[in-house]
């Protein structure tokens, strides 16, 4: 198949959507398909398997308050662009502005499309106080997803949320994890000593440093005796968070082997986000053999089993979160037991397996739409 992968953001941006798109494009090429990318940034490139991937760019803009991120601006009709690319199926990665235009163009051209729900736009509307709030966001999301032939949800919580808001047909499609990049054997004792020189419990988070991640709730945790906090990532809140948590290590944006080593060297992963549709960073920590404490909502509920491979934090009280971490600091046996169960809980979720599942969905939609 020739698959047009339409993404609201792309390289050089670093986020969950871009990571998923890169993995998908690589896997499509490995399996002998022909992916092309439609995005507001980036350039044609050679994929990891050696295939050449064409990137067709559209007009972009910077988000107010988040100048580092280029996103697609309203582009009107994409029929000519998609017609020139001549795809057999269109894959809409976390569709919003560009995704809606692509879905409409695909319908005009008679090309089937699959939309991936990855960003909780309604939660963003509430946190960023966007005009119309969550209700307007859901009306817009329905218009996007109703134009596609199938919606894929990354977690059971997202699946249920979409159904409640009248979006369908919808089916579950989770995310894969790189078991080579994220593995316990990448743990670096020297790095641990550098970040926690007095042998403290090394607690970390990997996230975009933005309002929706609620990283300010880690402030009481960062002041715990016997605990050192590591924050990996970048974003508009970095300076504010660094001022609020002066004892924390802010390592900036990391990737590749460097990111794998930092994650594997942690004793505990903590993610306070309550609006995660999946939360890839939690899955990567588990793959690295690091147990996780997460907010008991959204996608992480599919990943973390309370007192098995991690712990669920109910509510929004940062002092309760700090108390949970303090208890784990004083219970190394519980931490070791959860660490032993972390990697086995996700090791069947390879990108190869998840990629094949997606190809199956694309082929099914293509066959269904083209059937007489």
Q: Among residues of the chain, what percentage have pLDDT more than 90?
A: 83
User: What's domain 2-176+350-370's superfamily in CATH?
Assistant: Glycogen Phosphorylase B; (3.40.50.2000)
- What does pTM read for this prediction? 0.92
CB 215 within 8 A of CB 208: no
**What is the C-alpha separation between 146 and 153, in angstroms, rounded?**
14
Give the pLDDT score at 77.
84
pLDDT at 296 over 80: yes
pLDDT at 362 over 70: yes
**What is the C-alpha separation between 262 and 257, in angstroms, rounded?**
9
Give the pLDDT score at 59.
79
Domain ranges of the chain: 2-176+350-370, 184-345
- E strand residue ranges, 19-85: 34-39, 45-46, 52-57, 60-63, 66-72
Comparing 94-98, 200-204, 329-333, which segment has the lowest mean pLDDT? 94-98
pLDDT at 75 over 90: no
Query: Mean pLDDT across the stretch 333-354?
Result: 97
Query: Mean pLDDT across the stretch 141-163?
Result: 96
pLDDT at 66 over 60: no
pLDDT at 65 over 70: no
**What is the C-alpha separation between 328 and 209, in angstroms, rounded?**
25
pLDDT at 213 over 90: yes
Identical fold between 2-176+350-370 and 184-345:
yes
Comparing 73-82, 213-222, 285-294, which segment has the lowest mean pLDDT? 73-82
pLDDT at 67 over 60: no
User: What's domain 184-345's superfamily in CATH?
Assistant: Glycogen Phosphorylase B; (3.40.50.2000)
């Amino acid at each position: 198949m020739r698959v047009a992968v339409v993404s609201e953001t792309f390289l050089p941006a670093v986020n969950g959507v871009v990571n998923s798109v890169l993995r998908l494009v690589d896997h499509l090429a490995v399996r002998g398909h022909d992916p092309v990318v439609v995005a507001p940034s980036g350039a044609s490139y050679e994929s990891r398997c050696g295939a050449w991937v064409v990137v067709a760019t559209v007009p972009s803009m910077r988000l107010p308050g988040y100048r580092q991120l280029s996103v697609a601006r309203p582009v009107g009709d994409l029929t000519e662009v998609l017609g020139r690319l001549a795809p057999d199926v269109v894959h809409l990665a976390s569709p919003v502005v560009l995704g809606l235009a692509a879905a409409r163009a695909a319908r005009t051209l008679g090309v089937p499309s699959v939309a991936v729900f990855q960003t909780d736009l309604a939660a963003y509307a509430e946190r960023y106080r966007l005009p119309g709030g969550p209700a307007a966001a859901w009306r817009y999301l329905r218009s996007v997803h109703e134009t596609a032939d199938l919606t894929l949800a990354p977690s059971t919580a997202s699946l249920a949320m979409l159904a409640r808001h009248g979006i369908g047909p919808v089916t579950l499609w989770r995310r894969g994890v790189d078991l080579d990049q994220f593995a316990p054997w990448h743990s670096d004792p020297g790095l641990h000593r550098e970040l926690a020189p007095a042998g403290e419990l090394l607690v970390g988070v990997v996230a975009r440093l933005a309002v929706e991640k609620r990283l300010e709730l880690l402030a009481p945790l960062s002041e715990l005796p016997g605990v050192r906090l590591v924050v990996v990532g970048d974003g508009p809140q970095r300076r504010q968070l660094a001022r609020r948590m002066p004892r924390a290590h802010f390592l900036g944006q990391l990737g590749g082997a460097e990111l794998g080593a930092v994650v594997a060297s942690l004793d505990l992963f903590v993610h306070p986000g309550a609006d995660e549709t999946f939360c890839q960073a939690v899955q990567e920590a588990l793959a690295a053999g690091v147990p996780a404490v997460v907010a008991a909502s959204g996608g992480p509920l599919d990943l973390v089993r309370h007192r098995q491979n991690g712990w669920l934090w109910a509510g929004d009280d940062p002092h309760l979160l700090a108390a949970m971490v303090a208890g784990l600091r004083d219970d190394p046996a519980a931490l070791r037991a959860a660490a032993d169960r972390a990697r086995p809980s996700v090791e069947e979720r390879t990108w190869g397996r998840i990629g094949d599942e997606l190809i199956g969905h694309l082929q099914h939609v293509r066959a269904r739409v083209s059937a007489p």
